[in-house]
């Protein structure tokens, strides 16, 4: 199944080029959104198949505005340097095996079709296309062998990153720096998440092209590793790392991330609010 939030966080089931409005059957009362609440109650999306669709509106996707399918995840856990080609590209000495994972602010989530706001006029900001792993059940110190049973679905993620001296969590947590979507896709439809083609274009330039089979930590290893550090809750998201091909974003760019069997995530880029790096809050004199 492909699941969406649209037109003000209404839950939907995506069928072909349409979305079936599930809001009369699936309600949400918190800003986390309907699908995070569903996972809290059920642990996976299997029960969505049992929803009675009779009488529900079916709307062309072209006529709706997609929201981030997880507008406020409990946590966004990110994997640095999880492809060897990106390690070489960035002249890194270490990989995720040495760096571990880091956290991104949930306030950085951006919906499909939104606009990434560049913060600085004089610091490079890059795109990083990544596979997102959505946790369904509470997980703590799970084994690699059992890890996939805790995965409720997958989505696309853009990890937008300022190149500056601050730590990763700071450089990657600006508002709009985590576009998510376009859909949540269940494991049965995705198949082997460690064998998906991932491509990313910026301004029409094809910058990234890779199979997720080239990740250093595959999906089971990422889930097991993250759960060995922190308890994973339903609706948490793991950004699995980016391959080579990251590059500078400019005002007016558009970014398209496409992951096989998941879909295309498209956002714009603006420098309308950018300011000099030196204008950020600094220590008192």
- What is the radius of gyration, based on Cα positions, of the chain? 18
Percent of the chain with pLDDT over 70: 100
In this structure, the answer to whether residues 110 and 47 fall within a common structural domain is: no
Task: Tell me what the mean pLDDT of segment 232-248 comes to.
Answer: 97
Q: Which candidate, 210, 228, 247, places its Cα nearest to that of 130?
A: 210
Residue 183: which residues within 8 A CB-CB, separation 6 or more? 2, 3, 4, 14, 69, 155, 262, 263
pLDDT of residue 271: 98
| In-domain check, residue 284 | no
In this structure, the answer to whether residues 93 and 233 fall within a common structural domain is: yes
What is the b/e burial string over 214-243, where b = at least 16 CB atoms within 10 angstroms of the residue's CB? bbbbbbbbbbbbbbeeeebbbbbbbbbbbb
Confidence of residue 50 (pLDDT cuts 50, 70, 90): very high
Confidence of residue 219 (pLDDT cuts 50, 70, 90): very high
Q: What is the domain-level CATH number for residue 258?
A: 3.90.850.10
Q: Chain-wide mean pLDDT for the chain?
A: 96
pLDDT of residue 91: 82
Q: Is the pLDDT of residue 244 over 90?
A: yes
pLDDT tens by residue, 70-112: 999 999 999 999 998 887 887 877 889 999 999 999 999 999 9
Strands 237-239 and 129-135, by their bridges, are antiparallel
| In-domain check, residue 238 | yes
Task: Tell me what the mean pLDDT of segment 251-275 comes to.
Answer: 98
pLDDT of residue 252: 98
Structural domain harbouring 34? 2-67
pTM for this one? Answer: 0.97
pLDDT tens by residue, 152-203: 999 999 999 999 999 999 999 999 999 999 999 999 999 999 999 999 999 9
In this structure, the answer to whether residues 167 and 87 fall within a common structural domain is: yes
Supply 140's token pair.
Answer: 């703590």
Distance CA 228, CA 95 (A): 18
How far is it between the farthest Cα atoms of the chain?
66
Given 29, 45, 67, the domain boundary residue is 67
pLDDT of residue 24: 96
Question: What secondary structure letter does DSSP report for 116?
Answer: E
| In-domain check, residue 285 | no
Distance CA 24, CA 22 (A): 6
In this structure, the answer to whether residues 32 and 88 fall within a common structural domain is: no
pLDDT of residue 119: 98
In this structure, the answer to whether residues 219 and 87 fall within a common structural domain is: yes
In this structure, the answer to whether residues 38 and 129 fall within a common structural domain is: no
Given 67, 92, 120, the domain boundary residue is 67
pLDDT tens by residue, 3-34: 999 999 999 999 999 999 999 999 888 899 99
pLDDT of residue 30: 86
DSSP output for 31-43: TT-HHHHHHHHHS
Distance CA 256, CA 61 (A): 17
In this structure, the answer to whether residues 62 and 92 fall within a common structural domain is: no
In this structure, the answer to whether residues 131 and 265 fall within a common structural domain is: yes
Confidence of residue 254 (pLDDT cuts 50, 70, 90): very high
Q: Is the pLDDT of residue 113 over 90?
A: yes
User: Residue 265 in contact with residue 179, Cβ under 8 Å?
Assistant: yes
In this structure, the answer to whether residues 41 and 139 fall within a common structural domain is: no
């Amino acid at each position: 199944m492909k699941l969406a939030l649209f037109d003000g966080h209404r839950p939907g089931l995506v069928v072909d080029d349409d979305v079936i409005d599930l809001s009369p059957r699936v309600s949400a009362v918190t800003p986390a959104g309907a699908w995070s609440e569903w996972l809290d109650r059920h642990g996976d999306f299997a029960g969505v198949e049992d929803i009675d669709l009779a009488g529900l509106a079916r709307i062309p996707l072209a006529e709706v505005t997609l929201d981030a399918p997880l507008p406020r995840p409990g946590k966004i856990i990110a994997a640095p340097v999880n492809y060897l080609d990106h390690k070489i590209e960035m002249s890194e000495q270490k990989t995720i095996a040495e760096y571990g994972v880091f956290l991104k602010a949930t306030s950085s989530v951006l919906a499909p079709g939104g606009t990434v706001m560049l913060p600085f006029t004089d610091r490079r900001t890059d795109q990083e296309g990544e596979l997102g792993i959505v946790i369904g059940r509470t997980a703590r110190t799970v084994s690699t062998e059992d890890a996939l049973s805790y995965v409720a679905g997958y989505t696309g993620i853009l990890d937008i990153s300022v190149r500056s001296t601050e730590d990763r969590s700071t450089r990657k947590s600006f508002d709009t720096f985590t576009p998510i979507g376009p859909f949540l896709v269940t494991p049965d439809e995705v198949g082997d998440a460690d064998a998906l083609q991932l491509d990313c274009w910026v301004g029409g330039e094809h910058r990234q092209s890779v199979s997720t089979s080239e990740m250093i930590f595959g999906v089971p290893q990422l889930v097991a590793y993250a759960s060995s550090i922190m308890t994973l809750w339903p609706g948490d998201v793991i950004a699995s790392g980016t391959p080579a091909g990251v590059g500078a974003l400019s005002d007016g760019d558009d970014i398209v991330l496409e992951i096989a069997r998941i879909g295309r995530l498209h956002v714009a880029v603006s420098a309308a609010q950018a300011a000099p790096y030196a204008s950020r809050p600094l220590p008192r004199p």
